[in-house]
Structure 1
Amino acid sequence: MNLRKIVGVASAFLLSTQAYAYNCNGVAQYVDGRSYSNNAIVQNVGSAFSCKVGGWCTVGGPYAPGTGWAAGDAWTNLGSCGTTTTSSTPRSSTPSNTTSSTPSTGGNCPNWAAGTNYTVGVVVRYNNAFYRAKNENPGYDPVISTWFWEPVASCPGGTNSSSSSGNNGTCAAWVAGRMYYAGNTVSYNGGAFRAKYDNPGYDPLVSTWYWEPTSGCNGTGASSSVSSTTNPGTGFAAVVSEAQFNQMFPGRNLFYSYAGLVAATKTYPTFAGTGDLQLKKREAAAALANFSHETGSFVHVTEIARGLYCSDWGNLATCPCEPGKQYYGRGPIQLSHNGNYCAAGAALGLDLRRNPEIVEQNATVAWQTALWFWMTQSGSGYRPAHDNIVNNYGFGETIRTINGAIECNGGNPAQVQSRINEFNRILQIIGGTAGNNLGC
């Protein structure tokens, strides 16, 4: 870790400990790679922050509020999350048309979170008031979207949450890193579990102090059946919803965010955007399957066995390796070697030669490097992976493009089959068809 980063983190810590308390009820959790505009307010690492420079706020990584070494350049620390008690406390995010007093509650309703899918009947806490979802929605603001939400006097029962659909019905599948409240029920590995205590997404089988088995959901929530509802959004987001993405990779490293992926697809809008719906689903599944294989189901952000990866084939004359930098595998495609960092950086308008670490610090950039390879590079194959899918050469040819020199033509059939299995699993979740030529 370099000295500048250490000093920046230390400064951020001091700021957070000296700041006033801030009422964080209803303030959305910061998501690395999500687009933020000037004056946007988020909460992160126990404090609230206001965006000063939208361009930097959106980058994340070194500019992440409260954690990045350059966070102070992008964000203003409004104070640690807590109850606002004095007039000297920075301005609250509570809209003028909501009550400032905490209403009585009969249960444990979760705080509203932007971007979370809510089903009809879910009750959430927002700015010290409670709201019930009148219509299913992908996390619209309860005060603004009054067609989707209605105010209610209290939080009933203690099990209303987007994380649970009740004790007698089908529970939602458990998702690592998602906040759960006492009384929430989830399905996991064919069984159903009830949260005994609030927890930030601990594994129900490992964290038995936080979870207990229950028979309420009949273990049916983890089904891979396709949702009958139409996915919100456009482009990739219309093909794979955030709920489906979470279902695909419940144990992933949270660095690999859905928001970061959707943001990255704007750089390559034809990704999962070419042809009919089945072809779009096929490409989305093919890419996610290969990326998942490369990262151990999106667990590893960086390569385990790191090396310098400075090679002549990267053309050292035009792409010299920066002193002190390493070009080991990073991100969903595990981008490696100086040549690839230079080429990807040139395509994305980023100096990845001098700053390769951006790929492991910024979720959107990480996804962009994967899509850059997927859309434009032939690798070990005959054409880019995107072309292999949209021109019906088959999933097997995407394997050849990514790692064909090692895996294809009988090189490692077990690895090929592992990719195929992941491809088929993802297709089942989004309701897609595999097409022809699965192997290589």
Structure 2
Amino acid sequence: MLSSSGRGPSLVRSAILLAIAALVATFFTAPAAQAADGQISGLAGKCVDVAGASNANGTPVQLYDCNGSGAQRWSNPGDGTLRALGKCLDVSGNSTADGALVHLWDCTGAANQRWLVSGANDIVNPQANKCLDVQNRSSANGARLQIWTCTGQSNQKWNAPASGGGGNPQPGGFVVSEAQFNQMFPGRNSFYSYSGLTAALSAYPAFANTGSDTVKRQEAAAFLANVSHETGGLVHVVEQNTANYPHYCDTSQSYGCPAGQAAYYGRGPIQLSWNFNYKAAGDALGINLLNNPWLVQNDAAVAWKTGLWYWNTQNGPGTMTPHNAMVNQAGFGQTIRSINGSLECDGRNPAQVQSRINNYQRFTQILGTTPGGNLYC
């Protein structure tokens, strides 16, 4: 699926667009394991360190042998920031791009200085929806730190200091319980497991974990409502029209279709299709989906990750990612536009739009929240 003009059984090519996640005020919580003395330890047991122990604006933040110095003592005052030497961990240039370096800077309260830790020990900048990452996966002293799409690899795993209080920490766990998930999908295919979904959440820690409890529940409901519509209530794992299978190989791509011309049909909760979409999703997730697209129909966590990849990073035929639409309260209608707007919105197929809205309203009711406004597109 995932086309620039819409998504459905007859799918056309899309532009793969990177999108900026919402600018939100969110708070930092500590993972289960805590580093000693305010240190943040990570790859090879080394620490997040301020180069030269300088507190000048723009001082690089790097990986270095843990030594207990003030350059490695980080506090979490509960306002979403991480602080050392009286200044804040800051994403350079307010960038949301992969590879944007982090450094020390005067604390401003801006979104590029806000961080949260997922249950999987990722340190995430919610504005970019990206993880604190060691450049080139290097464990050498002086290796620079940056933000990068969350991959779950060891160069993005950290132990961090506990909150000093005064904030509003994120509660642990997914906002949808297993019982609620089963209530939403009583006839689902067993492939679409709750455990597969929760295992996939670490790839995009800001999903359903940004903003107020109401916004978190609304985003979870919106995502599940759309994938329910795409899969017939989480029943279909693969595209049902097998005649379409050979059509999803774009031979103009330099990498071709190494898994075979008919290998890139729709799979999973978002019905990922086309060779270029498998490549883009695989590259973002650190999984070789171009050569092994069958992972999306055989591994529930991988399948869910492809759905979350689209939701969190792709505009599709819309103007914003579905994640951005929900956390910025643009409304559920904008998620429809980003997923299948060219075929459904602006009066093109009101019955399909209504079907998605019905799912969303039912799911928000199950989650005990309100659907908000701007439901239609």
Structure 2 length-normalised TM = 0.53
Determine the structure 1 residue equivalent to 2:350: 413
Query: Aligned-pair distance for 1:383?
Result: 1.2
Q: Distance in 1 between matches of 2:222 and 2:249?
A: 30
Q: Which runs of 5+ in 2 are unaligned?
A: 1-170
| CA shift digits 1:205-262 (9 cap, x unpaired) | xxxxxxxxxxxxxxxxxxxxxxxxxxxx824x2x110011111111100100000000
Query: Aligned-pair distance for 1:326?
Result: 1.4
Determine the structure 2 residue equivalent to 1:272: 208
* Structure 1 position 387 matched with structure 2 position 324: yes
* Structure 1 position 322 matched with structure 2 position 265: no
Q: Distance in 1 between matches of 2:259 and 2:289?
A: 10
**Alpha-carbon contact 2:249-2:274 (below 8 Å) kept:** yes
Q: Secondary structure at the match of 2:248?
A: coil
Partner AA of 1:251 in structure 2: G
Task: Please tell me whether Structure 1 or Structure 2 has the larger radius of gyration of its CA atoms.
Answer: 1
Q: Distance in 2 between matches of 1:339 and 1:410?
A: 30
Q: Which runs of 5+ in 1 are unaligned?
A: 1-232
**Alpha-carbon contact 2:249-2:257 (below 8 Å) kept:** no
Query: Aligned-pair distance for 1:317?
Result: 1.4
**Alpha-carbon contact 1:267-1:368 (below 8 Å) kept:** yes
| CA shift digits 1:379-423 (9 cap, x unpaired) | 111111000111111100000000001000111000000000000
Query: Aligned-pair distance for 1:319?
Result: 4.7
Determine the structure 2 residue equivalent to 1:338: 275
| CA shift digits 1:147-167 (9 cap, x unpaired) | xxxxxxxxxxxxxxxxxxxxx
Matches within 5 A, 1:226-375: 234-235=172-173, 237=174, 239-306=175-242, 307-312=245-250, 316-323=253-260, 325-375=262-312
**Alpha-carbon contact 2:248-2:275 (below 8 Å) kept:** yes
| CA shift digits 1:293-342 (9 cap, x unpaired) | 00000000011013124344x85114545335511110000001111100
CA RMSD after TM alignment = 1.7
Higher relative contact order (CA 8 A, sep 6+): 2
**Alpha-carbon contact 1:325-1:354 (below 8 Å) kept:** no
| CA shift digits 1:237-288 (9 cap, x unpaired) | 2x11001111111110010000000010111110000000000000000000
**Alpha-carbon contact 1:330-1:360 (below 8 Å) kept:** yes
Percent same amino acid at aligned positions? 57
Query: Aligned-pair distance for 1:351?
Result: 1.0
**Alpha-carbon contact 1:310-1:327 (below 8 Å) kept:** yes
Q: Secondary structure at the match of 1:299?
A: coil
Q: Distance in 2 between matches of 1:429 and 1:435?
A: 15
Q: Secondary structure at the match of 1:418?
A: helix
Partner AA of 2:224 in structure 1: L
Determine the structure 1 residue equivalent to 2:336: 399
| Larger relative helix fraction | 2
Partner AA of 1:249 in structure 2: F
